[in-house]
């Protein structure tokens, strides 16, 4: 496993981090035993960065991480998220910051996450939605300063709205954040245009989420795939979306050549090809996936020609329902 410096924190984080949304909620039945096994195998393979959120099962994913850390005796950089108070994903334009992240609420939710994580200090607290208009609004900045001063959070960041990488450009410019979390994958490459170069310039950490397009770039879905009960992807891949996604994913087969063994590995390596990226966090609930994904870090990357061909095949679209 290779490590990159997480923004201006100076801390080394593993190129492959662990995404844990599916361990908490919305991806069908939970299997805590497999999730714990995957987390602990991740530590063995060098993962030292885990992304979670209170909303991933109302603290369930956070509690699993605490258990995995306790059982393995390992230490890891933990990134969690404070949900919007109005429970609206993505952030709706025009809604004031004070309705979404008032200071007392941000403090209270951080303390809840600390309890779930069984720690006095979380490495990174992120706002789970963001709107650049909030820069001049509300009292959330006071809460961040207080949490940092009290030693309850080490760093602060935001998770940008789905497929809206430019919605955080002013925030990155402002120097108020240590990191941003953004969708960046073979399909949606728009962060390359403005957000990634700016983060590099400002030394802001970049956490790449959804590198496998919720499975669309995993190489394991086919047009015939049927999602199980409680798996939200029934909506994400509804109608002809799955068929088109599978066809488009196949187009990237030219990236699967030794030592890259699968579309999933190619998709992760693509994200790592940008030096602005600090860590890529595929969702992984099995040892098998942790094994395949952690391998990617040490593999040789793509040539300029291969990357140019991949850039030309970008397919930005937004399949997310809003809540």
Which region among 8-16, 166-174, 214-222, 302-310 touches ligand NAP (by CB under 6 A)?
Answer: 214-222
> Measured from the CB of residue 304, what is the shortest distance to ligand NAP in angstroms?
25
Q: Specify the residue, 58 or 286, whose C-beta has the smaller distance to ligand NAP.
A: 286
Residue nearest to ligand NAP (CB): 283
By C-beta, is 146 or 156 nearer to ligand NAP?
156
Return the residue of 20, 48, 189, 279 that touches ligand NAP, per CB under 6 A. 20
> Taking a C-beta distance cutoff of 8 angstroms, is the pair 68, 36 a contact?
yes
Binding mask 241-270 for ligand NAP (x = CB under 6 A): -----------------------x------
Q: Following CA atoms 185, 186, 190, 192 in sequence, which dihedral angle do they give, to the nearest 10 degrees?
A: 80
Binding mask 90-119 for ligand NAP (x = CB under 6 A): ------------------------------
Q: How far apart are CA 67 and CA 204, in angstroms?
A: 30
301 vs 266: CA distance, rounded Å? 9
User: Which 178-197 positions form the footprint of ligand NAP (CB under 6 A)?
Assistant: 181
Q: Among residues 287 and 307, whose Cβ is nearest to ligand NAP?
A: 287
163-194 as b/e, with b when 16 or more CB fall inside 10 Å? bbbebbbebbeeebbbbbbbbbbbbbbbbbee
Residues 6+ apart with CB under 8 A from 203: 7, 8
Q: Determine how many CB atoms are found less than 10 A away from the CB of residue 71.
A: 12
51 binds ligand NAP (CB under 6 A): yes
Which parts of 125-144 interact with ligand NAP (CB under 6 A)? 128
Looking only at residues 267 through 306 of this chain, which bind ligand NAP when binding is defined by CB under 6 A? Answer: 281-286, 289, 292-293
Element containing residue 256 per DSSP (H, E): none
Indicate left, alpha or beta for 87 from its phi (over 0: left) and psi (-120 to 50: alpha): left
> Smallest gap, in angstroms, from Cβ of residue 149 to ligand NAP?
26
- Write each residue from 149 to 168 as x if it is in contact with ligand NAP (CB under 6 A), else as -, in one continuous string: ----------x---------
Round to whole Å and give the CA distance between 31 and 23.
7
Q: CB under 6 A: which stretch of 20-28, 187-195, 238-246, 305-313 binds ligand NAP?
A: 20-28
- Residue 269 or 289: the one with the smaller Cβ distance to ligand NAP is 289
Omega cis (within 30) before 259: yes
User: What DSSP designation does 161 have?
Assistant: P
Cα–Cα distance for residue pair 57/79, rounded to 1 Å = 16
Query: Could you tell me how many residues of this chain bind ligand NAP (CB under 6 A)?
Result: 28
Residues 266 and 252: beta-carbon distance below 8 Å: yes
Out of 11, 13, 22, 171, which residue is the one contacting ligand NAP (CB under 6 A)?
22
Token pair belonging to 114: 């600390």
ω into 227 cis (within 30 of 0): no
Given 131, 214, 274, 306, the residue binding ligand NAP (CB under 6 A): 214
Alpha-carbon distance of 323 to 320, in angstroms, equals 9
Q: Which is nearer to ligand NAP, 124 or 264 (CB)?
A: 264
Nearer to ligand NAP, 112 or 146 (CB): 112
Could you tell me the smallest distance in angstroms from the CB atom of residue 276 to ligand NAP?
Answer: 17
Binding stretches for ligand NAP (CB under 6 A):
19-22, 51, 81, 128, 159, 181, 209-215, 218, 220, 264, 281-286, 289, 292-293
């Amino acid at each position: 496993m290779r490590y990159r410096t997480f923004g201006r924190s100076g801390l080394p984080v593993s190129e492959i981090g662990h995404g844990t949304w599916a361990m908490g909620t919305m991806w069908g039945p939970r299997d805590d035993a497999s999730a714990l096994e995957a987390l602990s195998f991740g530590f063995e393979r060098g993962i030292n960065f885990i992304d979670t959120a209170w909303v991933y099962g109302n603290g369930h994913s956070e509690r699993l991480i605490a258990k995995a850390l306790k059982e393995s005796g390992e230490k890891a950089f933990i990134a969690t998220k404070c949900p919007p108070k109005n429970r609206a994903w993505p952030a709706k334009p025009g809604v004031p910051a004070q309705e979404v992240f008032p200071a007392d609420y941000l403090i209270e939710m951080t303390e809840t996450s600390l309890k779930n994580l069984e720690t006095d200090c979380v490495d990174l607290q992120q706002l789970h939605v963001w709107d650049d208009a909030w820069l001049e609004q509300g009292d959330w900045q006071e809460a961040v300063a207080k949490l940092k001063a009290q030693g309850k959070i080490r760093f602060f960041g935001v998770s940008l709205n789905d497929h809206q990488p430019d919605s955080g450009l002013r925030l990155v410019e402002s120097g108020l954040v240590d990191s941003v979390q953004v969708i960046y994958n073979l399909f949606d490459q728009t962060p390359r245009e403005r957000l990634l170069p700016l983060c590099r310039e400002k030394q802001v950490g970049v956490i790449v989420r959804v590198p496998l397009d919720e499975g669309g770039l995993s190489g394991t879905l086919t047009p015939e795939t049927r999602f199980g009960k409680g798996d939200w992807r029934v909506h994400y891949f509804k109608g002809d979306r799955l068929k088109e996604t599978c066809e488009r994913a196949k187009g990237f087969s030219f990236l699967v050549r030794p030592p890259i063994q699968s579309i999933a590995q190619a998709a992760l390596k693509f994200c790592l090809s940008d030096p602005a990226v600090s860590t890529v966090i595929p969702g992984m609930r099995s040892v098998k996936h942790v094994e395949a994904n952690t391998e990617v870090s040490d593999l040789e990357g793509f040539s300029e020609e291969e990357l140019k061909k991949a850039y030309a095949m970008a397919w930005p679209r937004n399949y997310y329902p809003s809540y």
